[in-house]
Amino acid sequence: MLLAIDIGNTNITVGVWNNHAWQQHWRLETNHGRTADEYGVLFNALLHAAGLTTAIDGVVIASVVPVLTSTFTQISETYLGQQPLIITAQLDMGLTMCVDAPEAVGADRLVNAVAAYHLFRGPAIIIDMGTATKLDVVSARQEFLGGVIAPGLGLAADALVRRAAKLSHVALEAPPSVIGRNTTQAMQSGLIFGYVSLIEGLVARLQAEHPDRHQPVRILGTGGLIGLMTPHTAVIDYVDPWLTLTGLRVIYDRVRRGQRKESDEA
């Protein structure tokens, strides 16, 4: 079975693929200070509870937190006995990179692009709502064209409270109406409906610039906060909170097939 790990700045998403379907998902809090041994004990406990302790025979990792990339490489080698595949722009992912500096693009953005093309075999815009809100563009020719990065919803909420002395933290949920009847509702409206408008506006602009705009462009939503948006907009065609794990699986299979082919030809 394949263990897929996506290390983000706020959350770490983990999935176990049994060659036919995702058997297990977990979402963990990212803790930069936790050691490899601490994470290793946690992973062993999760796998043991799911009855998967000895079932893992492959590991693939995407990370935007360099210090944790080495931590999870150590976990994979020490606790699982597996050399992990680390996602970088240099891997053959099937994508043509049409950006100025491919090596500077976050691994999660590339993996999401792979997943989107794998699912729909056509042009797409991926909305990923996590620590940052990212919108990435894929062409009908399997090209990664770049995209947009904006502050995440949680970051915006935190900044609002930190910089405004009379404002307090509010629950990230939609108020009864756009017109807030009190300070809490007004803040919730600005955050939730403000980000709905941000997404809808950026999607419209990206569609207008998309090289395949004369054919249907799929709009995919993912990330830990995407569920806050979907009840309030019709712009998103397909939602999968675990989209990045699908991309990791697809890349892992592609790289391993290439390695087996090279071995057979040697």
243 contacts 222 by C-beta, under 8 angstroms = yes
How far CA 244 is from CA of 14, 143, 223, in Å, comes to 10, 17, 8
- The closest of 191, 187, 110 to 145, measured between CA atoms, is 110
Instruction: Beginning with the edge strand found earlier in the chain, give each strand of the sheet holding 132-138 in spatial order.
Output: 96-97, 143-151, 132-138, 124-129, 218-222, 238-239
Bridge partners, residue 3, by sequence: 16, 59
8 Å CB contact between 222 and 135? no
Count the Cβ atoms, other than its own, within 10 Å of residue 134. Answer: 21
Any catalytic annotation for residue 6?
A: no
Choice among 6, 57, 92, 108 that is catalytic:
108
CA distance 60 to 86: 6
Residue 68's identity, in one-letter code, is L
Nearest to 150 by CA among 94, 257, 52, 223: 223
Using CA of residue 188, residue 131, residue 2, residue 111, what is the dihedral sign? Answer: positive
Active-site positions read 108
